[in-house]
Amino acid sequence: MSNVLMIKANDRPLEQSVTVQMYETFVKTYRDTHPDDVVTELDLFALNLPNYGNTALTALFKRSQGQELTPEETNIADLVRVHIDQFLASDKVVIAFPLWNYAAPAPLITYLSYLAQAGTMFRYTPEGPVGLAGGRKVVLLNARGGIYSTENMAPFEGAIRFVKSNLMLWGITPEEIIIEGHNQMPAEAKDIIQKGLDQTAKYAVTF
Ligand SMILES: Cc1cc2nc3c(=O)[nH]c(=O)nc-3n(C[C@H](O)[C@H](O)[C@H](O)COP(=O)(O)O)c2cc1C
């Protein structure tokens, strides 16, 4: 039996969103083919996490020093702890997110900022950072309307790159399923999306 964390970072309706379709396809196929696993779904837009900034940084510093926290600081330090514990308790993680304005949606950036704690997810050494959260399987489900798999466009892609960089810092090398080009090539959109959803379902069976 595995603990599986399924994370959705898109609040658009299913019929309008390719990444929500990838997410729902994965969740359904995985549940059907792994009935004994424990699946936890995390909807990052619904979670409405406070922005990660000075309140969080001060809260975490004070907690590490055993100092007294304000109620707002206590709330955010507890949220950081809860999400780190949940992530580390999972054997497998699925993250579905679109490319928006060359980046990942803000709630996913906030969520990963909560997790990215030195000393817990990675540690610094004289030879460079070492990941502390390896040993779990992670797959990224991503869609983007344009084509970024070409050499000239790849530097502009900032969603997969951002998520992957963080995971690799933590010692995790994720798999990726990417649907791309359906806005750029509308005549082929239906086929591109269907092919990607079929690939997503196939992958979920053996994940
Ligand atoms: C606010 C917004 C920004 C977007 N920015 C980009 C972009 O920078 N590059 C791109 O190729 N597609 C962009 N798209 C198109 C999406 O990547 C495309 O719709 C893809 O299917 C992922 O979004 P979806 O899951 O909501 O369908 C954008 C779409 C929206 C709604």
Residue 183 Cβ < 6 Å to ligand 1: yes
Residue 102 Cβ < 6 Å to ligand 1: yes
Whether this prediction's pTM lies above 0.95 is answered by: yes
Q: What is the pLDDT along the chain (207 residues), one digit of tens a residue?
A: 999 999 999 999 999 999 999 999 999 999 999 999 999 999 999 999 999 999 999 999 999 999 999 999 999 999 999 999 999 999 999 999 999 999 999 999 999 999 999 999 999 999 999 999 999 999 999 999 999 999 999 999 999 999 999 999 999 999 999 999 999 999 999 999 999 999 999 999 999
Q: Ligand 1: distance of its center to the CA of 102 in Å?
A: 8
Q: Looking at ligand 1, which residue's alpha carbon is closest to its atom 1?
A: 100
How many Å apart are CA 143 and CA 19, to the nearest integer?
Answer: 6
Give the chain's length.
Answer: 207
Domain boundaries, the chain: 3-206
* Pick among 3.40.50.360, 1.20.58.480, 3.30.450.90, 3.40.190.10: CATH of 3-206: 3.40.50.360
Q: Residue 119: left (phi > 0), alpha (psi -120 to 50), or beta?
A: left
Cβ burial of 93 (10 Å; 0-12, 13-18, 19+) is: buried
